[in-house]
Chains A and B, each alone.
Chain A
Amino acid sequence: MPDDLINSFLNAPDEKGRFGDFGGRFVSETLMPLILSLEAEYDRAKTDESFWAEMDHLWKHYVGRPSPLYRADRLTEHLGGARIYLKRDELNHTGAHKINNVLGQILLARRMGKERIIAETGAGQHGVATATVCAKFGLKCVVYMGAHDVERQKPNVFRMRLLGAEVVPVTSGRGTLKDAMNDALRDWVTNVRDTFYCIGTVAGPHPYPAMVRDFQSVIGKEVRWQLAEQEGEGRLPDTVIAAIGGGSNAMGLFHPFLDDRSVRIIGVEAGGKGVDDKMEHCASLTGGRPGVLHGNRTYLLQDDDGQILEGFSISAGLDYPGIGPEHAWLHDTKRAEYVSITDREALDAFKLSCALEGIIPALEPSHALAHVMKIAPDLPSDHIIVMNMCGRGDKDIFAVAEHLGVDL
């Protein structure tokens, strides 16, 4: 359905957890009763003022929200076109947007009486955020991480262990995020009675995609009033841009603007070495087709026989072969545009952010910035772009050094 036939984008998903044809609850029977009770608990919490009061308190005093909306003047001047704002979610406690969602899920887990938390992680940011909040609340935490990612994200592995989490290196498949998610699901199905699965992105069975989006939407909601504060009452961004692996930071920025049709929405996928038939990328929307994996129907990288392919990216946070189902829907309805950026372009953006703004970005938002660099010069100076700087780059300096041929 084209977007002009949809009254509102804020009513999805439906009661079956569908965003159009995407989403759903494709899980084994063992998990189904728990998924239903989680949905019921979340429905109660959503309308419970005390739940949001506790969230707001923790967001403010523990995470450091609101994160600044920063006008990047040197970047704007350098690109010579649109006015560029960065939403500084890399300044959150633990250095990325991930903790926005983790806090919400852990508060829910506490309401459900679960004492053991499991999580999957790619780059390690979601794992670190989960380990952090578990330490704060005295909960047992087990993080599944692809063995390949354990190797390339050593600092985050050490952080998680310092925080008291058990990090389980996953060797099945190619040892990346998708395989970590498989093993987390296997753990969950085995320990379903006492365990809460804290999913790090807007994917998985309903209600996860909607729930994680709601927790991350704090990003876009803040942007609305922060921009009005700096640019005048009622001023909305003309374009919002964010990087996408599973797509949680992007969904968090986009969602509060979905019904503002004047706002152009752009998601940036990881193009790896280039989106072509060699499949050395993670651009599920640009290079994949609909399928069912990890509890939801969405766009997936897969072969002709429906076997899932491994993604490829310089960024461990983006190399997932799927994407959140709401993005798949926004893509098909054309409400949002999705583009891809190569490793090389992301590295150039990474360096530019360091040089011009004194911000070392994570490789994930470097992809978003690379697309800003492409479009900003051709836009007028009164065009406002808001880009989500969703994570800081400390974790990536080793990977970047290697790509730049520097021996640390």
Chain B
Amino acid sequence: MARIADTFARLRSKGRKAFVSYIMAGDPDRERSLEVLRGLPGAGVDIIELGLPFTDPMADGPTIQAAGQRALGGGMTLEATLGMVRAFREENDETPIVLMGYYNPIYSRGVERFLAEAKEAGVDGLIVVDLPPEEDDELCIPALKAGIDFIRLATPTTDDARLPRVLENTSGFVYYVSITGITGSAVPKPSDVAPEVARIKAATDLPVIVGFGIRDPESARGISEIADGAVVGSAIVSKLAEGGPIEELLAYVRSLADGVHSG
């Protein structure tokens, strides 16, 4: 039942990099959001990050902010997000799902209750942007005890002195934030990112996935050449916001996946 570890083992045996894609739960509405979620594995997505909508997404750019507002506007909740995961798991027991968001909705529900519900629904990992290692007692340690990976962000400001602290309780994989900034902003240069990924890999056996600012098959390939995989979020979310048919969106996702898998 370790979907994240199994996925990386399988990819490694095929010599492939991981394609991680992000969508916001409930965006643009619950029905279409679930349809897209169900379509992602078939479009080549190896790991799914499912955004938990929050009113105050301090680390996100305008694209993800707008997606969260659309979701909340449609009445999306934490409970309904877990419901989406359950519905997805009815037909897919393989593709890992990582919930990504902010702490308050989880804190509001109660950490123990949330972890039990998330585990039961089929959630494999958590990325909670506003919980640095200094606050590990809040959710990270309880999540690890509950058998849910806690995936930490490492950033360009995480220096060598701090890196061990960041890696200490990280599990599943390390998410390297390629830029100092918010989601969906500057495009990272693989030549800048490569030494950072190497630095992190020297300190951990976990896979290192790179995200923030990757928006087309070419940049996805460039990044996956120097890391264990790439995350695309805002580019997919903004395509979804354009409102075209879902097949078209999934074809776009497929092109990104091909970029990563050729890297």
Contacts and interface: CB of A to CB of B under 8 A. Distances in A.
Interface of A: 16, 24-34, 172-173, 178, 182, 185-186, 189-193, 291-295, 297, 300, 302, 304-308
B154 A292 contact: no
Contact of A291 (B108, B157, B180): B108
A51 to B, nearest CB: 26
B177 interface: yes
Contacts of A190: 180-182, 185
B134 interface: yes
Interface string B142-170: 00000000001111111100100010000
A228 to B, nearest CB: 42
A30 B133 CA distance: 12
A26 B103 contact: yes
A173 B58 CA distance: 12
Contact of B105 (A25, A32, A193, A306): A306
Contact of B130 (A27, A186, A192): A27
Given A193-B180, A306-B104, A308-B104, A33 B159 contact: yes
B242 interface: no
A182 B58 contact: yes
A16 B58 contact: no
A34 B159 CA distance: 11
Contacts of A33: 157-159, 162
A190 B78 CA distance: 29
A302 B59 contact: no
Contact of B108 (A189, A294, A302): A302
Contacts of B31: none
Nearest to B134: A25
A189 B181 contact: yes
Given A185-B58, A186-B59, A29 B132 contact: yes
Interface string B49-71: 00001111111111001000000
Given A30-B155, A30-B180, A307-B72, A182 B134 contact: no
B137 to A, nearest CB: 9
A306 B58 contact: no
B73 to A, nearest CB: 11
A26 B182 contact: no
Contact of B78 (A27, A28, A173, A306): A306
Contact of A172 (B65, B78, B133, B159): B65
A307 B159 contact: no
Contacts of A16: 134
A29 B105 contact: no
Contacts of B56: 173, 178, 182, 293-294, 308
B51 to A, nearest CB: 14
Given A291-B104, A295-B130, A305 B157 contact: no
Nearest to A26: B130
A305 B181 contact: no
B208 to A, nearest CB: 14
Contacts of B154: 29
Q: Main SS of the interface on chain A?
A: mixed
Contacts of A191: 180
Contacts of B159: 33
B135 interface: yes
Contacts of B104: 291-293, 300, 302, 306-308
A192 B130 CA distance: 16
A192 B129 CA distance: 16
B109 interface: yes
Given A302-B104, A306-B105, A29 B58 contact: no
Nearest to B78: A305
Nearest to B102: A292
A300 B104 CA distance: 10
Contacts of B185: 190
Contact of B59 (A25, A28, A193, A307): A28
A189 B59 contact: yes
A34 B107 contact: no
A97 B157 CA distance: 34
Nearest to A25: B134
A25 B131 CA distance: 8
Given A29-B152, A190-B182, A291 B107 contact: yes
B108 A34 contact: no
B204 interface: no
B199 to A, nearest CB: 15
B77 interface: yes
Given A306-B78, A308-B104, A24 B58 contact: no
Nearest to A190: B181
B108 A305 contact: yes
A26 B132 CA distance: 7
25 contacts: A26-B130, A28-B129, A28-B130, A29-B166, A30-B153, A30-B155, A32-B134, A32-B157, A185-B59, A186-B182, A189-B58, A190-B180, A190-B182, A191-B180, A193-B157, A292-B107, A293-B56, A293-B104, A294-B56, A297-B107, A302-B104, A305-B108, A305-B109, A306-B104, A307-B54
Contacts of A306: 54, 78, 104-109
Nearest to A308: B55
A320 to B, nearest CB: 12
B58 A307 contact: no
A293 B135 CA distance: 14
B61 to A, nearest CB: 8
Interface in B73-93: 77-79
Contacts of B58: 28, 182, 185-186, 189, 294
A33 B103 CA distance: 20
Contacts of B158: 29, 32-33
